[in-house]
Amino acid sequence: MYKGKTCNLPFNLIRVHYIFIDAKEVEKKVFSQGYPKMVKKQTTSQIVHSFLRWLGVEKGYSEHTVSAYRRDILEFTTGIGANVLITAIEPIHIRRFVVSLHSHNSATSIARKLSTLRTFFKFLLREHYINNDPVAGISGPKVGKYLPTFLTVDEVFALLETPNEKDRFKLRDVAILELLYSTGMRVAELVSRNVLNLDFANEVLMVRGKGDKERLVPVGNPALEAIRGWLPLRDQLIADRARRGRDVEKEALFLNGRGGRLSSRSVERMVKSYGQRAGIPQIVTPHALRHSFATHLLEMGADLRSVQELLGHASLSTTQRYTHLTLDHLTEVYDKAHPNAK
């Protein structure tokens, strides 16, 4: 703020006498005429730390997502060499990095890493670390249309019936499988749920998804009954942990054998194992159950917008990929049933 004197800015853009002015407005007007910005001077590690903090705090991204950004940026900074400063990056550095990725990355991976760099350098530009975006105008590889892998209804039922009395945590595992298929939630969303997030009376679960956005999803009766069956064993694991003198995890809905919060990796291993035991030919993942949830809803007549809300997709176009699967299914049914199909 300036007060009590004349302020002569470059090019005689603004002259102010004895008034208050907003420094940001002055900066905006001056910079809009091409006056060079003052670039912040920090080390590469400080800049990357600021970016990752922005992703986690302001954008609300999960630790898993922030870690993925960190890995991509570390790969980039390592690839261009320690002698090149982040604030001195040119488009040629980006192009060389992208070319180097082709030998050991799929088109999808390259596109994702380039997307990371776009987000990173847009952040640097907005925060005045750089004056020009080196990624602008650089296109990524063409990525083929991805169709999600899903299970048939019979395969899902076979999976849900696989846990038996020989499995130590049968009650927990059945509850997890039922809940994944009943809600279509992501595995990271599942392991972060607490008991208080589940409303048994109204049969809904509060889910916190990407970008820290919350949504309510209905929970079917089989999943609710399975969770009720698991809760007494959960209480026993908590009591056992307390007797061992360990910090007690009282909030988490799903626990591991030591009484701590269950991890995403543990759920993935468990689902894969039950898929193999069920005789399902493809590798079964928690995300395959999510895809199955969406595909089966659409096959049964659910509208696309409702499925979008249930999945927590920010864009309807993300949900629309499931319509390709349901169209294939409808075509198959038509070919088998219609007398004039062939």
- Rg of the chain on CA atoms, in Å: 27
Structural domain including 271 reads 153-337
Within 8 A by CB and 6+ apart from 340, the residues are none
- Is residue 143 in a domain? no
Long-range contacts of 104-108 (CB under 8 A, 24+ apart): 107/141, 107/142, 107/143, 107/144, 108/143, 108/146
The tens place of each residue's pLDDT in the chain, 342 residues long, gives 444 444 444 433 333 333 344 444 544 444 444 444 555 667 888 899 999 999 988 888 878 889 999 999 999 988 887 777 888 899 999 999 999 998 898 888 999 999 999 999 999 999 989 999 999 988 888 776 656 688 999 999 999 999 999 999 999 999 999 999 999 999 999 999 999 999 999 999 999 887 778 888 999 999 999 999 999 999 999 999 999 888 888 899 999 999 999 999 999 999 999 999 999 999 999 999 998 998 888 888 887 788 888 888 777 766 666 666 555 555 665 566 556 545
Asked if residue 302 and residue 164 are part of one domain, the reply reads: yes
Q: At which residue do the structure tokens 């659409």 appear?
A: 298
Q: How far apart are CA 22 and CA 266, in angstroms?
A: 54
Q: Structure tokens of 342? A: 């062939």
In a domain, 138, yes or no: no
Helix, strand or coil, per DSSP, at residue 161: coil
Which CATH number covers residue 117? 1.10.150
- 62 and 166 belong to one structural domain: no
Beta strands 198-199 and 15-16: pairing type? unpaired
Residues 73 and 199 in one domain: no
The encoded tokens of residue 291 equal 């895809």
The answer to whether the beta carbons of residues 174 and 226 sit under 8 Å apart is: yes
Per the rule left: phi > 0, alpha: psi between -120 and 50, beta: everything else, 301 is left
**Residues forming the active site:** 186, 210, 287, 290, 313, 322
Domain annotation covers residue 245: yes
Count of domains observed in the chain: 3
Q: Coil, helix or strand for 75?
A: helix
Angle of the 153-160 helix axis to the 170-183 helix axis, nearest 10: 160
Q: What is the pLDDT of residue 295?
A: 86
Predicted local distance difference test score (pLDDT) of residue 4: 44
Largest CA distance in the chain: 90
Q: Are residues 190 and 269 in the same domain?
A: yes
Dihedral angle of Cα 64, 66, 71, 76, to the nearest 10 degrees: 150
Please tell me the distance from the alpha carbon of residue 316 to that of residue 216, in angstroms, as a whole number.
18
**Global pTM value:** 0.64
Closest CA to 44 of 95, 86, 8, 72: 86
Domain co-membership, 20 together with 90: no
My answer on whether 192 and 277 are in the same domain is yes
Residue 325 lies in a domain: yes
CATH number at residue 178: 1.10.443.10
316 in a domain, yes or no? Answer: yes
- Residue 211's contacts (CB-CB under 8 Å, 6 or more residues apart) are 59, 60, 61, 314
